[in-house]
Structure 1
Amino acid sequence: MKYYVNVTAYYVLLGNSRFHYSEKHVLWNPSTRREMYIECPYAYNEAYKLNYGICYDRLTDDFKVVLVIDDRYAIYSCKNNSWSEKKLGIKYYGFFTGIFVDGATYWVLRDDKHTIQIVYFDPRTDELKGLQKPEQLNSDCNSGLTISVACLRENMCLYSVSGEGDDDMLRFRIWRKEKGIGAGGNPNWEELLTFEIRKPRDWWLGVLCFVENKILIRLDEKTFVYYSPTEKTFEEIDGNEAHNLYSTYCSELVRYRNSLYFPVQAETRSIS
């Protein structure tokens, strides 16, 4: 079984396919090595693109699995051992895994007009809602712009990357959302960082997490770098440490620091 999705503080969600609907899933606790098998009862087409997420509801002390499929979403409650399904007034497209941060799970998806949308699951109401983007990203007609979400020091962050065409540089911009679940759908965004790095041949990007005072960034399938905001320098992670950060079947790195997944001291080399 290939793992495809985000984590909370305790669980990793595993499944058979990252891109398409899969009815069978596993919740795994890495610290205890215990797992729980769940099976979605709804008859979804396997050709559907599926967006997965896992969320913790502090009010009810309940872990919830969320499957966003086309114009509906399914919710599994671990506490009640039950599934429920809700309809959406809009179709969402993509095959992304959500990130759980600051009490909610967030995705970047496209609607039926192909507009980039930030969507979040509120575990208090079991509702899927939209979130306003930073003003600088409201005109997202640039086909060369990649937008995604990240958890940086327990803050929900949004980042964009541009660099299509003959330009040999990638330009990163990172924003931080104000604290609070959804913040009423129209949160304040603070721009944290802007920086550039030379474009890899086959880039596959991800802003992953802070390691001490540096940001871990994935540039392509097997290349990871640390970026120092204070020194404005990059260090590439060498050898086995980089290999351990990536699995052939996994495009989402699990955000555990100094744990089962994350190297305590990775060897690095400076890059321009």
Structure 2
Amino acid sequence: MHVLILGGTTEARRLAELLMALAPATGSLAGARVTSSLAGRVGSPRLPPGEVRVGGFGGADGLAAWLRTHQVDALIDATHPFAGTIGFHAASAAAAAHVPLLALRRPGWVPGAGDDWHPVASLEEAAAVLPALGRRVFLTTGRLGLAAFAGLDGLWFLARSVDAPGPPYPAQMAALPARGPFTLDGERELIRRHRIDVLVTKDSGGAATAPKLAAAREARIPVVVVRRPPVPQDVAVVGTPEQAVTWLRAHLGGTP
């Protein structure tokens, strides 16, 4: 059996670990070949076990051809919730190649008591609402979206991302290269030291970067939350790597 994981997330890496641990055992996943595909946008990614390929496929048609050529039996889309069009390419390619497809998506965040959230549909909308909310911004939306905020000359930004950003970006900005998971104490200190009065984040979900939300709540500062983009219809979705293993067993002829 050959499983292709479209990865780059903590959940994708965990799924590869689980499948590689199961491969020597008995049952439907015994001896499974596991290939993880990474987009290559992070300079030094944490590599999962098993086979790894880096780079795009050339759109939906290219992915469908890769599925056929490499005799893939199941496709798992475990990319970031904001990975953009890859989810739709995966759905199209899986249908064309007649390969079962599962989307592995960590649950989104939910506001709690004391939160002051401002949901928006895009980074551009986030930039539009910022001037009315604060002047010192903790920006945690990644290095590829900084152009949306480049015109806000009256605001100061602390922009955190795994890799150092390139232009265009805001004129008044301090870059903070860092990789999660982050701690609540660390996020509290960042907000205090930089006198942050508004946080901008994508609804990525998961525990690794959630402490910033708790720190913002404690500091009583507003949070601009970019909603997740739509996902393809008629694609099965699970929230954990363990659930993905159960799905694979069922679809590759075994039992959960």
TM-score category, normalised to shorter length: under 0.3
TM-score by length of 1: 0.25
Normalized per residue, the structure richer in strand is 1
Over alpha carbons, which structure has the higher Rg?
2
TM-score (norm 2): 0.26
Greater RCO (CA < 8 Å, at least 6 residues apart): 2
Report which of the two has the higher share of helix.
Answer: 2
